[in-house]
Amino acid sequence: MRTATSASSSVTPNEVNSEPTCYCGLQSPILMAKTKKNAGRRFHGCAKFDSPSCCNFFMWVDPKIPNHVRDMIVDLLERNQTLSESSQSRGDGVEVSSLLAEMKSQKAKNRRLKEELAQVKKGKMLYQSAFILCICYIAVLVIYNVKVGRKFLSLP
Ligand SMILES: [Zn+2]
């Protein structure tokens, strides 16, 4: 049994289907308005919009944006601008890179200290084994002396 659920699956995309061409005969790109009046509203413009030979072709893609939405977009854009300016003036980027450099040097120092510690441990072990050898030597001497003493004492 077949159902016709897929009959209405094709949806027209939000974008304009037929790519318009500007008066220069070039495919017109979708641009975004940055003026306060139409902030965020997309339009088709001349492909050479940033050159002096621009043909001034113009066609809106998006419907007119309601005023309160437009005001909000303008406000957000301004805040974004202020934030990026303040972060630039604080020199956050420089601070981060100097912190990274410091971290690297600290890591190198840490490695050096670890190597030093390993050497100190080695030296300590050497001293310990020398000390144990000394003790053994003394013990052997004492035992030997006692034996010699006994021998000496047992002599007639
Ligand atoms: Zn053009």
Quick: pLDDT tens for 100-131: 999 999 999 999 999 999 998 998 888 888 89
Residue 24, pLDDT > 80, answer yes
101 close to 56: Cβ distance less than 8 angstroms = no
Q: Rg (Cα) of the chain, in Å, rounded?
A: 43
Of residues 66, 16, 69, 12, the one with CA closest to residue 44: 16
CA 12 to centroid of ligand 1, rounded, Å: 27
Label residue 28 by pLDDT band (50, 70, 90).
very high
Label residue 150 by pLDDT band (50, 70, 90).
low
Helix%, strand%, coil% for the chain, nearest 5 = 60, 10, 35
Residues surrounding ion ligand 1 at CB below 5 Å: 22, 24, 46, 55, 57
pLDDT at 148: 66
CA 55 to centroid of ligand 1, rounded, Å: 4
CA 54 to centroid of ligand 1, rounded, Å: 5
Burial 16-43 (b: 16+ CB within 10 A, else e): eeeeeebeeeeebeeeebeeeebbbbbb
47 close to 29: Cβ distance less than 8 angstroms = yes
